[in-house]
Every structure is written in structure tokens, then in C-alpha cells.
């Protein structure tokens, strides 16, 4: 009986360890960023066993499209970041299990910087002082 309990405990511990970081109850994309950007619409696409992609469109002083890859591990996020090819009017960044792509149109550069900083904070990124 004790062996069975021990085996069950080990299996549960392994399942918990392989499940990746716990998912927060708050939404990945906040409804408002930096007090001027409003989330117009969003959608979530599960990636079978590989996390999910959350996309959203923000309106403010211009338009911003955000894509957050919420992956099972930081190693997967690093892999995606290393393979990503930069595009014009786009910035990408990653930390922990997130890889984020921000694309903008007709946006004020200072407002865009505030958007990125606030999104990083919302996602729990540890950022260096700027």
C-alpha cells in the first residue's frame, strides 16, 4: 500500500513538473496598455502540446498588432526568438516562456515605447532600467 502511494506521488510530481509554468488567471493581453492603447479584439490559438498564441489588435495613437507565444518552456521561447526574422515596423522580445511580436502602423515612437514597456510589465518580464 505504501509503495502504491509513493508511486502515485512520484507520477503526480512528474506530471506537475512537465506541465510548464502555472498559467495565470489574468488575461495575457490587458484591455488597456499605457492608458492610451485599447484592445480592440483578440483571439487565442492552441498549439497542440506546444502552448498557445494569443493575438490582439490595439488602437491608440496609431495601431498595434501583438502576438504572444505562450510556450511550455523558456527553451522553446529562446528557440523561437533565435529563428525569428525581424520585419520592418516590428519589434520582438522574449523572456521565460513568452515570445512576443509587436507590429505597428502610424504610431508615435514614444507611445510605442511606453506600450512595449507596459506590456513587458504585464507579462512579468524583468526589465533593465532604461
Task: State pLDDT tens for residues 80-106.
Answer: 999 999 999 999 999 999 999 999 999
Give the tens place of pLDDT for each residue, 55-65: 999 999 999 99
Query: Is 1's pLDDT higher than 80?
Result: no
Q: What is the pLDDT of residue 26?
A: 66
Sign of CA dihedral 66, 69, 70, 76: negative
Task: Mark 2-14 as b/e (b = at least 16 C-beta within 10 Å).
Answer: eeeeeeeeeeeee
The pLDDT tens digits of the residues spanning 18-52 come to 444 444 456 899 999 999 999 999 999 999 888 99
Asked if 68 contacts 123 with a C-beta cutoff of 8 angstroms, the reply is: yes
Which phi and psi (to 5°) does residue 123 adopt?
-80, -5
How far apart CA 9 and CA 11 sit, in angstroms, is: 5
- Give the domains, in start order, of the chain with CATH numbers: 23-123 (3.40.1000.20)
pLDDT at 126: 79
Name the phi and psi angles at 109, rounded to 5: -60, -40
pLDDT of residue 78: 93
Q: Which three cell numbers, joined as nine digits, stand for 63?
A: 495601431
Bridge partners, 94 (sequence order): 99
Residue 115: exposure state from Cβ atoms within 10 A (0-12, 13-18, ≥19) = buried
pLDDT at 8 over 50: no
What pLDDT shows up at residue 49?
A: 83
What does the mean pLDDT of the chain come to? 83
Mean pLDDT of 7-21: 38
Amino acid at each position: 500500500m505504501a509503495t502504491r502511494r509513493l508511486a502515485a506521488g512520484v507520477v503526480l510530481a512528474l506530471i506537475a513538473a512537465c506541465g510548464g509554468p502555472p498559467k495565470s488567471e489574468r488575461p495575457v493581453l490587458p484591455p488597456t496598455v499605457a492608458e492610451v492603447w485599447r484592445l480592440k479584439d483578440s483571439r487565442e490559438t492552441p498549439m497542440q502540446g506546444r502552448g498557445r498564441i494569443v493575438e490582439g489588435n490595439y488602437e491608440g495613437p496609431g495601431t498595434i498588432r501583438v502576438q504572444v507565444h505562450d510556450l511550455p518552456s523558456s527553451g522553446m521561447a529562446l528557440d523561437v526568438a533565435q529563428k525569428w526574422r525581424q520585419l520592418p515596423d516590428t519589434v520582438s522580445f522574449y523572456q521565460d516562456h513568452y515570445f512576443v511580436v509587436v507590429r505597428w502602423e502610424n504610431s508615435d515612437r514614444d507611445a510605442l515605447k511606453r506600450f512595449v514597456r507596459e506590456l513587458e510589465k504585464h507579462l512579468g518580464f524583468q526589465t533593465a532600467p532604461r
